[in-house]
């Protein structure tokens, strides 16, 4: 996932995150997370998390026992898509989804609340979605918090992501075109 703030020829901030791993019967099994952040007038910062079979080594080198189902900042969105595809009953308003999340400086359980059905206006028309939000507030100097709108008619892919650093600093991303695997227009469910 690539994110840029400012003009593409001279962004004020850019961040590239990637996750490598395996697909298992229980979903994603991340093995490595890379994050590179570049900010105007600052040296680039790179953080890596290594997720071995029994240990998670955070970006600062601290090792923690690998909990069952652990995800990283990038794989969490794909894991949620996998969960909702294989267990659509979990995407009903009022449900929650929890899993351990390995972040560059710590590891903790994150809880996502399934909030409500919403139809989003996209460049290719209205798309019925379900809004999912982590049960935490964005705070300056803390981890980024991402609300996600998943589209059941588009194989449960995210259609919108609202990523907050704090109350005043956020990025709101909306899908621009139909995903390649979508052969037809989305239908209301």
CB 100 within 8 A of CB 71: yes
pLDDT tens per residue across all 189 residues of the chain: 777 777 777 777 788 889 999 999 989 999 999 999 888 888 989 999 999 999 999 999 999 999 999 999 999 999 999 999 999 999 999 999 999 999 998 899 999 999 999 999 999 999 999 999 999 765 545 567 889 999 999 999 999 999 887 777 788 889 888 887 644 555 554
- Domains of the chain, residue spans: 2-174
Label the pairing between strands 71-72 and 157-164.
unpaired
Which pLDDT score, from 0 to 100, does residue 181 have? 62
Which pLDDT score, from 0 to 100, does residue 185 have? 52
pTM: 0.83
Phi and psi torsions of 182, nearest 5°: -85, 115
- How far is the C-alpha of 146 from the C-alpha of 169, rounded, in Å? 12
């Amino acid at each position: 996932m690539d994110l840029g703030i400012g003009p593409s020829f001279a962004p004020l901030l850019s961040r590239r995150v990637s996750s490598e791993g395996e697909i298992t019967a229980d979903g994603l099994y991340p093995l490595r997370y890379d994050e590179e952040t570049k900010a105007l007038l600052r040296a680039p910062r790179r953080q890596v998390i290594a997720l071995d079979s029994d240990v998670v080594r955070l970006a600062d080198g601290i090792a923690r026992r690998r909990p069952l189902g652990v995800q990283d900042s990038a794989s969490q969105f794909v894991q949620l898509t996998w969960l909702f595809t294989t267990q659509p009953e979990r995407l009903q308003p009022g449900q929650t989804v929890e899993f351990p999340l390995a972040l560059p400086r710590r590891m903790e359980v994150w809880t996502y609340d399934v909030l409500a059905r919403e139809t989003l206006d996209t460049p290719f028309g209205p798309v019925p979605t379900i809004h999912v939000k982590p049960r935490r507030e964005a705070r300056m100097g803390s981890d980024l918090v991402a609300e996600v709108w998943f589209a059941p008619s588009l194989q449960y892919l995210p259609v919108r992501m609202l990523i907050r650093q704090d109350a005043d600093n956020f990025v709101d991303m909306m899908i621009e075109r139909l995903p390649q695997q979508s052969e037809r227009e989305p239908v209301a469910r």
